[in-house]
Structure 1
Amino acid sequence: MAEHDPLRFATGLSAKLATRSRHVCALFGAGTSKACGLPDVAELQRRILAALPKPQSDSLTGLLHGRNLEEGLSRLRRISALLTGDQAIDGLTAAGATELDRAICRVIISEVDIGHADLTATRHFAAWLARANYHFPVEIFTVNYDLLFETALEELQVAYFDGFIGNLRARFQTDLVETAPGSEQDSVPAFFTRLWKLHGSVNWAWDARQVVRVGQAVGEEVAAAIYPSDTKYEESRRVPFLVLQDRMRRALHQPETLVIVGGYSFGDAHLNELLFDAAVRRERTEIAVFCYSTIPELLAERALLTPNIQVVGDREAIIGGIRAAWAVPENNIGGIFEDGRFLLGDFRRLAQFLAKSASREPDVDGRLRQLLDAVAQNLPADGGA
């Protein structure tokens, strides 16, 4: 019976990450935030329903019938845009839909507040980015709304660009986002990590007919720009979302691209197709998907037909189009394979692995400790030298 070698897989991934000519991308979902102590989408939905007063909770329950949270929000915003006066859809007037939208966003902002989160994993991840020295910028795509990545990047003094320019009310710069990575037209230096928030953020706000990024989570009097409304006549309000999704499509089609996917449940059909299409059309694009436990069947079906999609779960993996269990080594492999389980599907373990790999420095652990200690001591990452 075929089995996959966990150490061989981890060693091969490290070698790929160490190749500086690689274009490295990552796609992270709610599992990464959950690893830091924040709720995933299902738990967030339960908390929203529990926090809303009964009339609003009942309205949202109706909207969520056959829909996920983001689809419910999108429908809510269509209702708000379509109606006038006392007209109603699903028992909601335009004013009622707008107020429910704001109430939902207030709960979301409260629940994904990182004040009580454990940032250890994102700090390890930022420590890897701090030492990354690729020819092309590392591009991080996330569907999460929280500020975990921004906070960790800033703590470890990792320069990044998120598509907005400015501090107090930063404006989205489409032209800077659309330039090809590493091209002569790319005005943002390659050492700037790209952080692309595909579904918006708690610090994005609607400003007239555009989205702006503010310095902190938006206030209670406005709705955060979380996930786009899909009304055609509000196309201008969709600009960041459409541009960023197109950026992901073009990034995945760059030659020699390595994509790391973690904490993502493959529940977004559009993003799934972007990944699968790139894997089919670009044979030298490699996609490594890390699942916390079981492998989703939708993903398994594609990986079995597409050898450059490698999927690893805690008990089995699909590598080279072959689905098989992990070969259990005689001894545990610290941080990678312990007690019969492959561990890198846990974002905390994956971030640790990244922080210690893809570096040619002789004292990786020492450098990592220096970066993390700098955060605790509020010193520059070079130790104040």
Structure 2
Amino acid sequence: MSNDPEKQANQLLQCLTQDKMRIGFLFGAGCPYSVNAGSNTPLIPDIKGLTETVAKKVCCKDYKEPWRNICLQLNEDGNSNPNIEDILSRVRGLKDLVGTGDVRGLSKTTLEKLETGICEEIIKCVSKDLPDKTTPYHNFASWVGSIDRTYSVEIFTTNYDLLIEQALEDFRVPFFDGFVGARQPFFDSHAIEFDNLPPRWARLWKIHGSINWRSSIDDSFKVFRTDIEKGGNVVIHPSHLKYEQSRKMPYLAMMDQLRKFLSTPSSAMIVVGYSFGDQHLNDVIVQSLQGTPSTAVFALMYGPLKNYTSAVSLAKERGNLSILAEDGTVTGTRKQIWRELDEQPDSLLPSGAIEWTKGAKEDDPWKASFKLGDFNFFGAFLQDIAGKKA
């Protein structure tokens, strides 16, 4: 069976051009990875690249054996290829248990130094600026600011970097991220729950924390925003925290916002750069969609469907989760390839959204390649929409 890529892209276009629809975005590690820093080098590596970079740096110091110990523990627990977030969560979990003795051959001091070393290297890797104002992030920011909306655009991201903030500020798009204050902005969950800011303000929810968030060193577990260069307890991937701590931290508040958005009828969310590798996040998405059939999620995937077995499996169970990949789709729980045509279609979509190619033989069909899973093409898609609205 086959599906029409033009039809799917047009549904996406309709969502992006309506000013009265609740619309949100979920940006994953594939977004900063798509930005070229020169010589075809990604501005920020993906999770795999980040893990390899941090491992190389950390193991050059005094943490080689503790790092190896943690990885072996995860291997024994069935995680054959742990990423940096798995490793950081395990380090923190053991640190909470260790007390004054050792746990699994690691002391509290060793675990604290390992955690600090990992966080320092993560900050070095992702503390990057966008090279100019022509990036897909800037195209996205331009689109956000181009339409007067009934409801605010809600932006969710698993990334720790400050690229979204930079782009929004470059285009003078106001946004609220859960922090209030001026000298040392602090996280305020009440400001999120009773948010009455104008719709022109975007909302930015950083699910896995940020390189410029710090937590207090006392038992109050307060979180504040500061300069990247300042030390302290960096709030990156804080899902290891106990429930009572998490309630005071941004993590659960951000997840609650995601759940709230997806549970609002007739909302639409567009996912870019996220491969559905976070089980907790996946659970929130699927459970929310199950309870709200009128909400739709469009997951735009880079490359072929075969690379995203988890996403395909989830979409086969939820009719309102659509996976749109380069060579096919899962929509309405059905996995299908893109339709082939005898003649080149006269597309009305923005250029670059779908690439049609024909083989060398005269009777070869025209085949579609869906390009919007590439953040660069998606940014150009948004730029075209913003230009028509201007």
Shorter-chain TM range is: 0.7 to 0.9
Query: Is the Cα–Cα contact under 8 Å of residues 50 and 57 in structure 1 kept in the other structure?
Result: no
Query: Is the Cα–Cα contact under 8 Å of residues 313 and 345 in structure 1 kept in the other structure?
Result: yes
Query: Is the Cα–Cα contact under 8 Å of residues 54 and 118 in structure 2 kept in the other structure?
Result: yes
Query: Is the Cα–Cα contact under 8 Å of residues 177 and 244 in structure 1 kept in the other structure?
Result: no
Give the secondary-structure state (helix, strand or coil) at the position aligned to 2:106: coil
Q: Residue 379 of structure 1 corresponds to which residue in structure 2? A: none
Q: Which amino acid aligns with 1:216?
A: D
- 1:91-124: per-residue Cα shift (whole Å, max 9, x none)? 3221221111111111111111213656601001
1:72 Cα offset (Å): 1.9
Q: Distance in 1 between matches of 2:228 and 2:131?
A: 15
- Aligned equivalent of 1:81, options 84, 96, 108: 96
- Aligned equivalent of 2:323, options 297, 311, 316: 311
Q: Residue 49 of structure 1 corresponds to which residue in structure 2? A: 55
Q: Residue 353 of structure 2 corresponds to which residue in structure 1? A: 336
1:233 Cα offset (Å): 7.8
Give the secondary-structure state (helix, strand or coil) at the position aligned to 1:195: strand
Higher RCO (CA-CA < 8 Å; seq separation 6+): 1
Q: Residue 116 of structure 2 corresponds to which residue in structure 1? A: 102
Q: Which amino acid aligns with 2:302?
A: Y
Structure 2: gaps spanning 5 or more residues: 36-42, 358-367
Tell me if 1:247 matches 2:257. Answer: yes
Q: Residue 228 of structure 2 corresponds to which residue in structure 1? A: 217
Tell me if 1:173 matches 2:188. Answer: yes
Q: Distance in 2 between matches of 1:88 and 1:238?
A: 29
Tell me if 1:133 matches 2:148. Answer: yes
1:355 Cα offset (Å): 2.6
- 1:199-239: per-residue Cα shift (whole Å, max 9, x none)? 100000122333434343143x4341101153438716852
> What is the RMSD of the two structures over their aligned residues, measured on CA atoms?
2.3
Question: What does residue range 1-385 of structure 1 map to in structure 2 within 5 Å?
Answer: 2-36=1-35, 37-52=43-58, 53-64=60-71, 65=74, 66=79, 67-85=82-100, 87-115=101-129, 120-179=135-194, 186-208=195-217, 209-219=220-230, 221-228=231-238, 230-232=240-242, 235=245, 239-295=249-305, 296-328=308-340, 330=344, 334-338=351-355, 339=357, 340-357=368-385, 364=388, 367=390
Percent identical pairs in the alignment equals 31
Alpha-carbon spacing, 1:116–1:286, altered in 2? closer, same or farther (3 Å): closer
Q: Distance in 2 between matches of 1:245 and 1:116?
A: 27
Q: Which amino acid aligns with 1:99?
A: K
Q: How many residues align?
A: 353
1:301 Cα offset (Å): 2.5
Q: Which moved more, 1:154-163 or 1:336-345?
A: 336-345
Give the secondary-structure state (helix, strand or coil) at the position aligned to 1:7: helix
Alpha-carbon spacing, 1:211–1:355, altered in 2? closer, same or farther (3 Å): farther
Relative to the length of structure 1, the TM-score reads: 0.85
Query: Is the Cα–Cα contact under 8 Å of residues 22 and 136 in structure 1 kept in the other structure?
Result: yes
Query: Is the Cα–Cα contact under 8 Å of residues 160 and 209 in structure 2 kept in the other structure?
Result: yes
Alpha-carbon spacing, 1:177–1:278, altered in 2? closer, same or farther (3 Å): same
1:351 Cα offset (Å): 1.8
1:267 Cα offset (Å): 1.2
- 1:279-320: per-residue Cα shift (whole Å, max 9, x none)? 222111011011101332232223233322111111111223
Q: Distance in 2 between matches of 1:121 and 1:30?
A: 14
- 1:295-349: per-residue Cα shift (whole Å, max 9, x none)? 3223222323332211111111122333221124626963112244210000111
Q: Distance in 1 between matches of 2:286 and 2:235?
A: 28
1:70 Cα offset (Å): 1.7
Relative to the length of structure 2, the TM-score reads: 0.84
Give the secondary-structure state (helix, strand or coil) at the position aligned to 2:173: coil
Q: Distance in 2 between matches of 1:6 and 1:20?
A: 24
Give the secondary-structure state (helix, strand or coil) at the position aligned to 2:103: coil
Give the secondary-structure state (helix, strand or coil) at the position aligned to 2:185: strand
Give the secondary-structure state (helix, strand or coil) at the position aligned to 1:141: strand
Query: Is the Cα–Cα contact under 8 Å of residues 101 and 223 in structure 1 kept in the other structure?
Result: no
Q: Distance in 2 between matches of 1:305 and 1:332?
A: 34
Alpha-carbon spacing, 1:332–1:347, altered in 2? closer, same or farther (3 Å): farther
Alpha-carbon spacing, 1:223–1:294, altered in 2? closer, same or farther (3 Å): farther
1:161 Cα offset (Å): 0.2
Q: Distance in 1 between matches of 2:293 and 2:207?
A: 25
Give the secondary-structure state (helix, strand or coil) at the position aligned to 2:297: strand
Q: Residue 372 of structure 1 corresponds to which residue in structure 2? A: none
Alpha-carbon spacing, 1:280–1:232, altered in 2? closer, same or farther (3 Å): closer
Q: Which amino acid aligns with 1:210?
A: F
Give the secondary-structure state (helix, strand or coil) at the position aligned to 1:188: coil
